[in-house]
């Protein structure tokens, strides 16, 4: 019997014509690869609640959650991950620091595919970049 997928959420944060991409810092799983910010859904949380909490913890900012963009199940690092990507916008300033990332870039959709993305984020990257 296989374990149920790990439920993870990610924010596709749009500001103007750019989307926030974050590179995982050294010592983290998938270090050096890019992802949309987010994290695990805790028991009793909705995906939107989890995403607001995770982004506040990681980036120190507040976001407004929009619609669910897509959900994909990917096998990564020896386990199945169900990643739900939600549209989001900033409630205030852009983030300047992250607990989980060593770089943050605001990237145009067409430029997303040039980055080395973590496996679970690739379906969303392909959809956003038109490829």
The pair phi, psi for residue 124, each rounded to 5°, is -70, -40
Work out the pLDDT band at 28, boundaries 50, 70, 90: confident
Mean confidence (pLDDT) of the chain:
94
pLDDT at residue 80 in the model: 93
**Mind giving me the DSSP string for 45-93?**
--HHHHHHHHHHHHHS--EEEEEEEEEEEEEETTEEEEEEEEEEEESSS
Fold of 6-129: Nucleoside Triphosphate Pyrophosphohydrolase (3.90.79)
pLDDT value at residue 2 = 62
Residue 51, pLDDT score:
97
């Amino acid at each position: 019997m296989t374990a149920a997928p790990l439920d993870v959420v990610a924010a596709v944060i749009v500001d103007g014509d750019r989307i926030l991409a974050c590179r995982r810092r050294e010592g983290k799983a998938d270090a050096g690869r890019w992802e949309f910010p987010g994290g695990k859904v805790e028991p009793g949380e909705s995906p939107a609640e989890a995403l607001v909490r995770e982004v506040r913890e990681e980036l120190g900012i507040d976001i407004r959650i929009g619609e669910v963009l897509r959900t994909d199940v990917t096998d990564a690092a020896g386990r199945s991950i169900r990643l739900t990507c939600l549209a989001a916008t900033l409630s205030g300033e852009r983030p300047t620091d992250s607990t989980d990332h060593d770089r943050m870039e605001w990237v145009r959709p067409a430029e997303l595919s040039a980055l080395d993305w973590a496996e679970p984020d690739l379906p969303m990257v392909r959809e956003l970049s038109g490829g």
